[in-house]
Structure 1
Amino acid sequence: MANTYHKIYLHTVFAVKNKKALISPEWEYKLHSVIGNLINQSGGKSLIVNGMPDHIHCFFQKQPSISESELMQSVKAKSSKWINDNGLSVRRFSWQKGFGCFSYSESQKNDVYRYVRNQKEHHRKMTFREEYEKLLKSFNVQYDDKFIFTGLD
């Protein structure tokens, strides 16, 4: 086959490392834009980036030529550099190691988009940890509780 045809929808979730260096409402939308642009620069297509002061959700189409780990490593490194270079955080900003990554079909796209868009609503009812564990369980992902995002309940 001469061409490669693909449509890979991914939802990734990652957390800030330090509660004293949270994402501020004053610059959260710019950060979401920076992260979306980084995904687009990788050859992907950012559909929505949103989150809370302690974590980020990205929903996007991914190019098959780059692994999820490579993409997230780049997005996290470059976005934390942008935060630190612009002096946006009182403390040195960094992301926790690791991330969650979940795949969806075309028929689920609108539901996932709405879910990411409505983050502030979701977190009136559940903590980040509860949300993250619910995602892991719904995808039957085996995990060790001691390696779940720490210190952000």
Structure 2
Amino acid sequence: MSHVKIWVHLVFSTKNRIPFLKRNIRFELRLHIMENCKKNNIFLQAINGYEDHLHCLISIGKDQTISKIAHMIKGESAFWLNKSRMLNDFFSWQDDYFAVSVSESQLSKVINYIHNQEKHPYLKIFCSGG
């Protein structure tokens, strides 16, 4: 039986960095993404963000790629947000994303960083490219 354990910190932002993700929307969006990841066998360890971006810590399975996971999370969540009509405007994510591998020894630091996004939203260590 194959065993793969690759941790990836995935960051993506709203189109043109428009601050659509106010606190109540961000909360609902995180819940939706968590549920959708479970349904699609994506192991999502942590998720959080601020008004114009989201961070996810994921573990990639043996048949998964970063590209497929990013596409699924971004595409499905944008579709859901538009369908839900929580926003008055059309919502979309930037086409690109940032992904970096995370070593086991750094997991707790990355999880803490993600969980504390609202305390340091503009410390853009991982999302400088948008």
Structure 1 and Structure 2 fold alike (TM over 0.5):
yes
How far off is 1:5 after superposition? 0.9
SS in 2 for 1:89: coil
- Tell me, in whole angstroms, the C-alpha distance in 2 between the residues paired with 1:10 and 1:76: 15
Decide whether the 8 Å contact of 2:47 with 2:57 is kept in 1.
Answer: yes
How far off is 1:21 after superposition? 6.0
- Tell me, in whole angstroms, the C-alpha distance in 2 between the residues paired with 1:22 and 1:61: 27
Higher relative contact order (CA 8 A, sep 6+): 2
Higher gyration radius (CA): 1
- Tell me, in whole angstroms, the C-alpha distance in 1 between the residues paired with 2:103 and 2:72: 25
TM-score (norm 2): 0.89
How far off is 1:121 after superposition? 1.3
Moved over 4 A (4+): 18-21
TM-score (norm 1): 0.77
How far off is 1:131 after superposition? 5.0
Question: Which residue is 2:52 aligned to?
Answer: 54
RMSD: 1.8
User: Mind listing any 5+ residue stretches in structure 2 that lack a counterpart?
Assistant: none
Q: How does 1:75-94 map onto structure 2 within 5 Å?
A: 75-94=73-92
Instruction: Determine whether 1:66 maps to 2:64.
Output: yes
Question: Which residue is 2:41 aligned to?
Answer: 43
- Tell me, in whole angstroms, the C-alpha distance in 1 between the residues paired with 2:20 and 2:123: 15
How far off is 1:66 after superposition? 1.5
